[in-house]
Structure formats: structure tokens, C-alpha cells
Amino acid sequence: MSDRLLIDAGNTRVKWALLSEQSTWLAQGAAVYAALAELPRAAAPDRRVFVASVASAEQETRLLEALGGTREAVQWLTSVPAAGGVVNGYDAPARLGVDRWLGLVAARQRTAGATLVVSAGTALVVDALDADGRFLGGTIQPGLALGRRALEQGLAHLPATRGRVVEFPCNTADAVESGTVRALCASIEQGHARLCAHAAGPVQCLLTGGDAPALMPFLSLPCEHVPALVLEGMDVLTSGNLTP
């Protein structure tokens, strides 16, 4: 056994964690693809490198250059039909985004009950996990930045300045920001309501992703913020320390 470098390669950012042989988190960080200088290189003796990627081919090339290795030098994680106490209910299990899969695995290690797993990043993903550990399905929609960009591209004369979320917006900037944030919060709350109706007991909500702090103040339900949820799932599946 040796230390492990875990890398969550997203659409916009790379998150990473360096773990000891005993699964102690030694260091972690995040960076955009244009600034990966702080990412530990893969060439350390006996280091194993695991990557979970939903990135483009160009972004993966940048990542490998920063690691100083080749594609064959790292282990690429993929979604599977079952692992870590989770049954993958996707129509084609291998086609479930690996970041979603790892978030579900991490969620199962945190709670034995029904759980709503929300990733607020480039896209907003709202996934439902029942008390038996079965992934029921989930929704995907544009995140904050993509939602704003869609309005900018589709509508003329939108202000360049960012607005605020207010109760009754009286200017266009605030109207755009309030509408975008409230739409995302409504998706989370509706997903929670659907899972509550399905579940026999209480439903926990875990929230991860770069936009999680921007959404949490406006949600009407309690959510636990877990910034490194995908990395936690990677730790579970690469350490062998799985709970039933």
C-alpha cells in the first residue's frame, strides 16, 4: 500500500486530495485547468494516482501534462452497477457520470437513510438515493453561470453587472440573479419533496460543488455542505474500506 493522489476532474475545475497509506488526508486543493501548478505530480515513488473525469479531452491533456505522466500512468475510475453499498439504477449504469456515482457512494457512507445528493457546479445535478442504497435517478440543468450565460446570449440589453437575490427585484440585474438562483433552489426543493414522498423515513440533503455556498442561504430545507464529496467517494472505492 502507498499514498494515493485522488483527482476529481470536473467541467471547470480540478479538485485533488493526497492521502496517506492509512487514508489520512495529507493535503487537498482545487484549481482551474489553466493553473494546475499546485497539483502534486504523479512521479513520487510508489504513489498511486486515481482520476475521476467528466472533463473534455483537451482538459484531460492539460491535467496529464501537469501530472508529468501519461494516460496509462493513472487509474481512471468509472461508474459500475454496484459498489460501496450503492446500486446503480441508471438505465445504462456505465453511462452515469462518474462524479455523480462517486457522490452517491460517499453519501451512502455518511448516512444509511434516504439522501438527496446535490452537486451545484457547472450544472446543477439533483440525485435521489433511497434508504436501501439504490440510486433512483436524478435531474440535470444549467448551473448558475450557465443560466446567466443563456440569458445573456438569448436576450438583448442585459446589464453586464451582476445583481443580487432580493424579494421583489426592481432592476434587471437583480431580476436575472434572483430568477436564476430561485430556479435552482426550486429544483433542489422539488427533488427533496419527491424523495420524501417516496421514502418511508426522513430524507437528508448533501450539497457539494462550487456554487453550493451561493445557493444554501436561499434554500428552505436544511442541507449539509460537503465540499469534497466526490473525493470522499474516490477514497472509499480506492482504499477498500467499504461499509456494507
Q: Which of 6-20, 43-57, 89-103, 130-144 has the lowest mean pLDDT?
A: 43-57
pLDDT at residue 80 tops 90 = yes
CATH number given to 113-228: 3.30.420.40
pTM over 0.85: yes
Residue limits of CATH 3.30.420.40 in the chain: 4-76, 113-228
Model confidence at 244: pLDDT above 90: no
176 touches 145 (CB < 8 A)? no
- Looking at 8, 99, 130, 235, which residue is catalytic? 99
Residue 192 to residues 8, 102, 138, 200, 202, Cα–Cα distance (Å): 26, 20, 11, 13, 10
pLDDT range class, residue 243, cuts 50, 70, 90: very low
Share of the chain above pLDDT 70, in %: 97
Give per-residue pLDDT as tens, 136-180. Answer: 999 999 999 999 999 988 888 888 888 999 999 999 999 999 999
Catalytic (active site) residue 99: yes
The fold for domain 4-76 equals Nucleotidyltransferase; domain 5 (3.30.420)
